[in-house]
Amino acid sequence: MSELKDFLSQKTAQAAEFYVRDLEALTHEQLDKSPGGSARAGYDFTHEVVVVNKRIACRLRNEDPGPWPFGEGWAVCPDGERNKEHLAAQIKSSAQEIVDAIPGVPDEKFSEEFELNGSPTSFADMVGLASMHIMYHGAQLNYLQAMGGDLEMHWMD
């Protein structure tokens, strides 16, 4: 596997690991609450991370993930999945799907640009986006922790 593939695989796995550490530090009540009544709940953006990861893994496997499941609105976690342990497992498995799919993309095609939904991208860009997207929403988890008085950096544990 190429150095770029190795690097992006490691960063994706690491981002998921950090995310799960922060997720596990929060209570169900903190994750289920919409701060200020309009901000996204932790369960909702965590569900989005899982969906995006799975869609990227599909693309890497040359599969069609289908239409974006949330239409024009924000992702909302289904009631039956608003469970920290379930979502922690889903974060881990969806990131692992990406890592497992990376070797299947030929090295010469991994950084090759193509058009997707009217925008240029590459498989390398998609994997980089996955890692960045996980960390972005991980920062939102950190914010929820701080709002609850928890100033620890659990992702560093």
pLDDT along the chain (157 residues), means of 10: 94 98 96 91 98 98 95 94 98 99 96 93 97 97 92 80
What number of H helices and E strands is found in the chain?
Answer: 6, 2
pLDDT score of 152:
83
pLDDT score of 150:
87
pLDDT score of 117:
86
What is the number of domains present in the chain?
A: 1
pLDDT score of 154:
80
Side chain identity, residue 101: A
Provide the CATH number for the domain around residue 24.
1.20.120.450
pLDDT score of 37:
86
pLDDT score of 1:
74
* Domain span including residue 133: 3-156
pLDDT score of 42:
98
Instruction: Give ∠ CA 121-90-46 in degrees, rounded to 5.
Output: 70
pLDDT score of 2:
93
SS3 content of the chain, % helix, strand, coil (to 5): 65, 5, 30
pLDDT score of 69:
94
Beta carbons within 10 angstroms of residue 19's beta carbon: 24
pLDDT score of 86:
98
